[in-house]
Amino acid sequence: MDLSVEMPGLHLKNPIMPASGCFGFGREYSQFYDLSLLGAVIMKAATREERYGNPTPRVAETHAGMLNAIGLQNPGVENVITNEVPFLAKYNTSIIANIAGSTLEEYEFVARAFNDSPNVDALELNISCPNVKEGGIQFGTDPAMAARVTEVVKRASNLPVYVKLSPNISDIVSMAKAVESAGADGLSMINTLTGMQIHLPTGKPLLANSTGGLSGQAIKPIAIRMIYEVKQKVNIPIIGMGGISTAEDVLEFLLAGASAVAVGTANFQNPFICAELIEALPSTLNKYGFNSLQDTIGKGIAI
């Protein structure tokens, strides 16, 4: 079955890719299977300088999910370009660079740096970061700020830009429209939901950072709902994610309106998950009466 998908800058042989932050830069998972199987790889976030991240504990298990507060630990964009991208470039897969920052200038710097990296096919713009110059409000929770950072990155970059939306807002459609108007080539959704766990033996938040981002199966219905709503109001393609762990989940995302999907937390449970989903997808599509991937996208939307 033809699983290929065309999206701005991305000619994917299948719609499956590991999500940012859950696959590092691919090295560790390359010992389990051939990364050339993957539609694409979304790299761990890169910032201007190296970041050390938050103190530990950085993760907590929850029912059907987990919380994380890694704090964008990464070796800095120059290191990512010189040491990590060449490793992934050996594989026959597309490379998406996830970029983060604390200021507009930082986003601009990181986006521009990837112009000199010929093997990167697209940017995923992580706007779930606090804007230090605006009192720490997340770029991704204010449509005007999200549009502004999208514009700045679009101007700085020669790559297609997929804006990764934060679900921690009440009106996801306004946010999606704001970044579409600002020039986004696509959307990526959803990032994690803010949560907290109290550790009973100490009576204090378990994560050193107190709050963390909830991911995994628990957030899937929220992701599906948001993609479904957004798909009806925007004309740019969506990379869907949030709790995917089976081929049925993938189909659900496609029907809701995603053109491709990313898999995060499920890699921790099963390092082979992406390869297994690619293998299982054709029979799952068949089972529900679809003959190609294209036939499924957005078909779940009731008119």
Partner 1 sequence: MIKKERVRIQTKRKIAKDTIEMVLENKYISSIAIPGQFIHIYVDGHTLRRPISIANVDQDANTLTILFKQLGSGTEQLACSPEGTILDVLGPSGNGFQMDTGNSTILLIGGGIGVPPLYYLGKSLIEKGMKIISILGFQSSEYVFYEREFQELGENLIVTNDGSYGEKGFVTDVVHTIDHIDCYYSCGPIQMLQAVTQSLPTTRGYISLEERMGCGVGACFACVVPSKKESGYRKICKDGPVFNAEEVKL
The binding site for partner 1 (CB under 8 A) comprises: 21-24, 27-29, 31-32, 44, 50, 52-53, 56-62, 64-66, 68, 70, 73, 216-217, 265, 267-272
Fill in the DSSP letter of residue 234.
-
> Which amino acid belongs to residue 195?
G
5, 15, 41, 44: which one binds ligand FMN (CB under 6 A): 44
Cis ω before 57 (30° cut-off from 0) = yes
Q: CB-side exposure of 293: number of CA atoms within 13 Å?
A: 23
Q: Is the dihedral of CA 238, 242, 247, 252 positive or negative?
A: negative
The one catalytic residue among 16, 96, 129, 189 = 129
Which residue, 48 or 148, has its beta carbon nearer to partner 1?
48
Among partner 1, ligand FMN, none, partner that 219 touches (CB below 5 to 8 angstroms by kind): ligand FMN
| Active-site residue flag, 22 | no
Buried b / exposed e over 119-151, threshold 16 CB at 10 Å, is: ebbbbbbbbbbebeeeeeebbbbbbebbbbbbb
In the complex, least distance from residue 214 CB atom to ligand FMN, rounded to whole angstroms: 8
Task: Name the nearest CA neighbour of 176 among 256, 237, 129.
Answer: 237
Tokens of 105: 């200038």
164 binds ligand FMN (CB under 6 A): yes
Q: Which is nearer to ligand FMN, 225 or 294 (CB)?
A: 225
Per CB under 6 A, the segment of 106-114, 140-148, 264-272, 277-285 that binds ligand FMN is 264-272
Residue in 139, 99, 145 with CA at minimum distance from that of residue 122: 99
The residue at minimum Cβ distance from ligand FMN is: 21
Q: Is position 241 an interface residue for ligand FMN (rule: CB under 6 A)? A: yes
Residue pair 139/131 in contact by the 8 Å Cβ criterion: yes
Find which of ligand FMN, partner 1, none residue 241 binds, CB within 5 to 8 Å per kind.
Answer: ligand FMN
Nearer to ligand FMN, 246 or 294 (CB): 246
Q: Which of 284, 259, 285, 262 is nearest to 273 (CA)?
A: 262
**Strand 260-263 to 16-18 pairing:** parallel
Which one, 47 or 296, has the nearer CB to partner 1?
A: 47
Spatial distance between the Cα atoms of 231 and 206, rounded to a whole number of angstroms: 37
Q: Which is nearer to partner 1, 94 or 265 (CB)?
A: 265
Amino acid (1-letter code) at residue 259: S
Joined together, the tokens standing for residue 54 give 């938050």
> Which of 8-16, 47-55, 239-247, 283-291 is the region at the interface with ligand FMN (rule: CB under 6 A)?
239-247
What residue ranges bind ligand FMN (CB under 6 A)? 19-22, 44-45, 68, 70, 72, 98, 126, 164, 191-192, 215-216, 219, 241-244, 263-266
Residues marked as binding for FMN? 20, 44-45, 98, 126, 164, 190, 216, 242-243, 264-265
Q: Which residues are catalytic?
A: 129
